Amino acid sequence: ADEGIEITNQKMFLIWLGIPEEMHEKIYFTIKNNWARYPDTIIKFEENDSDYHFTEEENTILENAADKFSDHMNVLRKK
């Protein structure tokens, strides 16, 4: 079964991930299970506007956010 993660408050979720509010409108994200050898729920970020490209600083913020999400999922999985 694919356990979906329900995000009830996207703004709070992005802030929890460490993404500043001014970036929120630039981001489109998807959460999915990557059914590799070990099931792993990952988050992917993309530019909301195809003409926009994340800056290096924004990419770093998003990488850190993806790591935080991944770490959190690992903690939940071990319970």
How far is 42 from 30, CA to CA, in rounded Å? 8
Radius of gyration of the chain (CA): 13
Query: CB of 38 within 8 A of CB of 78?
Result: no
For all residues of the chain together, what is the average pLDDT?
88
pTM over 0.85: no
For residue 4, what pLDDT is reported?
58
* Residues 62 and 45 sit within 8 Å (Cβ to Cβ): yes
Q: Which residues of the chain have pLDDT under 50?
A: 1-2
pLDDT on residue 1: 41
- For residue 46, list its beta bridge partners: 28
